[in-house]
Amino acid sequence: MHAVPPVPLGRHREAEQRAHVAELPDGRQADRMSNIHPVDLRRWCYVPGMHVRAARTLERLLEFYTAPAAPLAGDPAERAAALFREVAATVPAYAEFLAEHGASTGTPFGELPLVTKESYLRRYPLASRCRHGRLEDSDTIAVSSGSSGRPTVWPRSVVDELAVARRFEDALVHSFGGHERRTLVVVCFALGSWVGGMYTAAACRHLAAKGYPVTVATPGNSVEEILRVVAELSPGYEQTVLAGYPPFVKNVVDEGARRGVDWAAYGIRMLLAGEVFSEEWRELMGRRAGMSQPDHDSVSLYGTADAGVLGNETPLSVRVRRFLAAEPAAARELFGDSRLPTLVQYDPMIRYFEAVDGTLLFTGDGGVPLIRYHIADEGGLLSRDELVAFCRRHGFDPGDGDDRPFVYVFGRSLFTVSYFGANIYPENVAAALDHPGLADDITGKFVMQVRTDADEERRFCVAVERAPDRPAAEAAELADAIRTTLVRLNSEFANYVPAAYQTPVVEVRDPGDPEYFPVGVKHRYSR
């Protein structure tokens, strides 16, 4: 990695004069600080009269800008316990929360009460959930999407962005080779108070400041602006990263193709977050965007408004997931479910995960620090060694990769529908609609629901969005593909639902249909 130490403050002009030009392996040149020891750099964080907050921020920035793109060293459990003790001493709401549950700093970490939105976030005032009760110590405010209820406010600081920037750095370096290639990152998430777009832009700007050849463009979720930015800027870069919500990125690529955009010429990569997608979808987007290395060309981020990005796909995790997608019996054995989850690696020194009763907890620092926060995502944890060994026992060698553990995430059960006692998940239906024979005529968005007809017969129904400028897909063909895929992937569906009721009622709707596919809002796959 060619990380560049931080540029000194303006008052240290003599240090700037000691910078020299160094040749990088690919022939480019970059300013490198040559004669300054890291200890000297650290001293710059403390200047007489400087506000303590500024000094602490500079120190944390220095740690990030001078660190390699690698997991942090140390004992994750001890780091989480140390954060707990510090939060108990400095965050008024958490101290009160502990007392109400009969817990204290002497309580073993694994016995601490779980923090939830209902028991903690919605019970205590926002300021009291911050250190020393000081909301004003946060630089900005982010807002969750509110997909499970009313939106939640999350205070943030520049320092909080660094944990997220590490996950973007891992994707940029180890998946995209962005330390060696001029890279344009196009932020296709919505901007404003919603967390995804602003966090992505901030994290990638940190990477640019660290010395990577990265430029960030922020057109937001406007297809017209994205295509304009790509046409104008992408020819000057070796690769272009489209960062966004998977269905929206697909819309961008499809609309660009309709307008004659040669995506393959721009070295497209995809940085995706917000929902689980199938490996068929990854294949489909690879073909349409000219991406030829599935384990390196797209990265899914597991992120939440609660704590930013928690983990990211790696080449190793993608290879494993692709193997499991082709072997549903092995996937069910490993995950205990017919769904194929998002599978990512994470740094336990930054986000400390636990699995309890099939759901995930994490502990992590932030503007509102969270200790054993029950995020309510269904999933589990696996070590690198046990996952690789599992694959090898089933005849596939995925390689070794790095030592970081894995977290797998199904999402939240509130997005399922129940039919004859069988849980049907959006991931099951998506796997059917992403096949090449069907995908050209639809956008990939759908809404599933169970309706009762006049005779009180229950029917599984799926509304599917037609692709712009394409004829309506045959509803019968879509229904048959969904039934076939559900029977193959979902053992509950295959065994619980009578054969006469397994074929869904499919309705093809126009793009942007206001009832099922309204424009400009986060899509929901079930109702």
> Is residue 378 within 8 Å of residue 406, measured between CB atoms?
no
> Is residue 215 within 8 Å of residue 271, measured between CB atoms?
no
> Is residue 214 within 8 Å of residue 207, measured between CB atoms?
yes
Taking the C-alpha atoms of residue 460 and residue 504, their distance in angstroms, rounded to an integer, is 5
The DSSP result for 78-106, as a single string, is: HHHHHHHHHHHHH-HHHHHHHHHTT--TT
> Is residue 203 within 8 Å of residue 164, measured between CB atoms?
yes
The pairing of strands 183-187 and 29-32 is unpaired
Is this structure's pTM higher than 0.75? yes
Alpha-carbon torsion 424, 302, 318, 258, what sign?
Answer: positive
| Edge-first strand listing for the sheet containing 505-509 | 442-452, 458-466, 505-509
Taking the C-alpha atoms of residue 350 and residue 178, their distance in angstroms, rounded to an integer, is 23
The pairing of strands 239-244 and 268-273 is parallel
* Residues forming beta bridges with residue 445, ordered by sequence position: none
The DSSP result for 283-346, as a single string, is: HHHHHHHT---HHHHEEEEEEETTTEEEEE--HHHHHHHHHHHH-HHHHHHHHSSSS--EEEE-
The DSSP result for 166-210, as a single string, is: HHHHHIIIIIT-TTTS-EEEEE-S--SSBHHHHHHHHHHHHHHHH
Nearest to 211 by CA among 244, 257, 165: 165
Q: State residue 140 phi and psi, 5-degree precision.
A: -155, 175
Contacts of 500 (CB under 8 A, 6+ apart): none
Q: State residue 511 phi and psi, 5-degree precision.
A: -60, 135
Tokens of 521: 């809002």
Q: How many other C-beta atoms are found inside a 10 Å radius of the C-beta of residue 141?
A: 14
Residue whose pair of structure tokens reads 């004659």 in the numeric block: 260
Q: What pLDDT was estimated at residue 26? A: 45
Task: Walk along the chain (527 residues) and give the pLDDT tens digit of each residue.
Answer: 444 333 333 333 333 333 333 444 444 444 555 555 555 666 666 777 888 888 889 989 999 999 888 888 999 999 999 999 999 999 999 999 999 999 999 999 999 999 998 999 999 999 999 999 999 999 888 876 554 446 678 899 999 999 999 999 999 999 999 999 999 999 998 887 777 888 899 999 999 999 999 999 999 988 999 999 999 999 999 999 999 988 789 889 999 999 999 999 999 999 998 777 889 889 989 999 999 999 999 999 998 877 889 999 999 999 999 999 999 999 999 999 877 899 999 999 999 999 999 999 999 999 999 999 998 788 999 999 999 999 999 999 999 888 999 999 986 555 778 787 678 888 889 888 888 778 888 988 999 998 876 555 778 999 999 988 777 778 899 999 999 999 988 877 888 788 888 999 999 999 999 999 888 777 788 87
Q: What pLDDT was estimated at residue 208? A: 97
Give exposure, 502-524, as e/b (b: 16+ Cβ within 10 Å). bbbebbbbebebeebbeeeeebe
Taking the C-alpha atoms of residue 467 and residue 453, their distance in angstroms, rounded to an integer, is 29
Domains of the chain: 13-65 (no CATH), 76-138 (no CATH), 139-310 (3.40.50.12780), 417-509 (3.30.300.30)
Taking the C-alpha atoms of residue 254 and residue 467, their distance in angstroms, rounded to an integer, is 9
Alpha-carbon torsion 334, 339, 344, 349, what sign?
Answer: negative
Taking the C-alpha atoms of residue 449 and residue 504, their distance in angstroms, rounded to an integer, is 10
Taking the C-alpha atoms of residue 77 and residue 81, their distance in angstroms, rounded to an integer, is 6
Alpha-carbon torsion 14, 16, 21, 24, what sign?
Answer: positive
Q: Give 476-489 as a 3 state SS string.
A: HHHHHHHHHHHHHH
* Residues forming beta bridges with residue 183, ordered by sequence position: 214, 239
Q: What pLDDT was estimated at residue 411? A: 63
Q: Which helix (H) or strand (E) holds 217?
A: strand 214-217
Three-state DSSP at 223 gives helix
Tokens of 130: 């911050």
